[in-house]
Amino acid sequence: MIKNGVASSDNCSPEKRRRTVRVWCDGCYDMVHYGHSNQLRQARAMGDYLIVGVHTDEEVAKHKGPPVFTQEERYKMVRAIKWVDEVIEGAPYVTTLETLDKYNADFCVHGDDITLTADGKDTYEEVKKMGRYRECKRTQGVSTTDLVGRMLLMTKAHHSNIEKNSDYQEHTDNFGKGPKGHSPWTGVSQFLQTSQKIIQFASGKEPEPNDTIIYVAGAFDLFHIGHVDFLENVYKLAERPYIIVGLHFDQEVNRYKGKNYPIMNVHERTLSVLACRYVSEVVIGAPYSVTADLLDHFKVDLVCHGKTEVIADKDASDPYAEPKRRNIFKSISSGNDLTTDHIVQRIIKNRLHFEARNQKKEAKELAAIEAIKKRCDEQTKGILDPKSSE
């Protein structure tokens, strides 16, 4: 309908009349894990379009200490999260109204933990005061600081043997609150999986008749840019790909990788993989050998593996013998030689830097917690004793 030469929305549907709500999130997103993904999932649910600002290496180093991943790696990891619509590279560390207005964002979203600058100031102070801040629930049981700590500790027992390791047990006994005197956000090392969380992360879509069903399997530990590059290249193999990722149980991963692997347990790895935009479905605890039963059950058209070495099964057989026999096996290069081993080596190489970073972050968080507690106590005292505030 035209009124005075201007199109009227009177006859438009409510969906068309409703303005698009643009949501802003920002962060370092170093060692992107399922906690980051869950924050972005919640933020996306608050609006229609999610913009994610990622800080540069220089900014991260200034305010938090050296990042594990480069800014280019972090940009690509965030782009691979299926709830993200747009990534802004080199976003400022302190979130201002100017930034929100520049990208036409209605408000920004952050978890219910504390983010501070190098001098201890709340990075969201300005937008909070102006009512353009929303909070989402932080994912219990994980933080980048915690993951770095797991690799620095390097005495973590294997998952079948966890109760025998006092160092790891002492750390996990304080789930949700951190060890005594530690920050409740930094001092965490145990994730409790629920069916609801898996449902929230899963697409829930069945394969369509014209989809090409592609199966890949592995540990996918510390889900990283090498995994993303591999899955992206697999995704490009078909016009309508439906990628199923088979995740091996922790004991199986330890069998063929050894050392202290996996760093993340199968429940954590499940959410990390499900958050990737190239993945349609995950098989939790997939058999190491790709069997005829598995191929037939999922009606698999193609099986892919990266260029890394294929370790033989317990009986010394080739785990990909059946798909090779059916001529549906393909070796795919990720174009990236990064592995979980390489990430651990980055941490170990810079052990002193990362230990200092973890200690510095915890100290800032503890100071902030004490300040909040003091403010709350003063407010409570003022309510109970009005004369004290006169």
pLDDT tens per residue, range 99-111: 999 999 999 999 8
- 319 and 201 together in one domain: yes
Confidence at 255, pLDDT banded by 50, 70, 90: very high
CA distances from 367 to 20, 115, 120, 125 (A): 39, 12, 9, 17
Confidence at 379, pLDDT banded by 50, 70, 90: low
Does residue 37 lie within any of the structural domains? yes
Two structure tokens written together for 242: 């439906």
Largest Cα separation within the chain, whole Å, is: 85
Q: Is 5 left (phi over 0), alpha (psi -120 to 50) or beta?
A: left
- 129 and 157 together in one domain: no
pTM of the full structure: 0.77
Does residue 7 lie within any of the structural domains? no
- CA angle at residue 220 from 359 to 339, to 5 degrees? 70
Does residue 8 lie within any of the structural domains? no
Domain count, the chain: 3
- 294 and 367 together in one domain: no
Amino acid present at 221: D
- 204 and 111 together in one domain: no
**pLDDT value at position 162?**
38
- 279 and 335 together in one domain: yes
- Which CATH number belongs to the domain containing residue 58 in this structure? 3.40.50.620
- 160 and 247 together in one domain: no
Q: Report the alpha-carbon distance of residue 232 to residue 181 in Å, rounded.
A: 43
179 CB neighbour count, 10 Å cutoff: 15
Tens-digit pLDDT profile for residues 169-210? 333 333 333 444 444 444 444 667 788 889 999 988 999 999
- 212 and 322 together in one domain: yes
- 115 and 161 together in one domain: no
Query: Is the model's pLDDT at 254 over the cut of 50?
Result: yes
Does residue 173 lie within any of the structural domains? yes
- DSSP letter at 301? S
Pick the last residue of a domain from 136, 154, 183. Answer: 136
- 368 and 330 together in one domain: no
- 243 and 206 together in one domain: yes
Residue, of 124 and 142, whose pLDDT is higher: 124
Residue 46's domain comprises 19-136
Does residue 290 lie within any of the structural domains? yes
Give bridge partners of residue 22 from the DSSP assignment: 49
- 208 and 322 together in one domain: yes
Helices 71-79 + 225-235 axis angle, to 10: 50
- 103 and 34 together in one domain: yes
Pick the last residue of a domain from 90, 115, 136. Answer: 136
In this structure, is the dihedral angle defined by the CA atoms of residues 32, 36, 41 and 43, taken in order, positive or negative? negative
Question: What is the rounded end-to-end Cα distance, in angstroms, of the chain?
Answer: 61
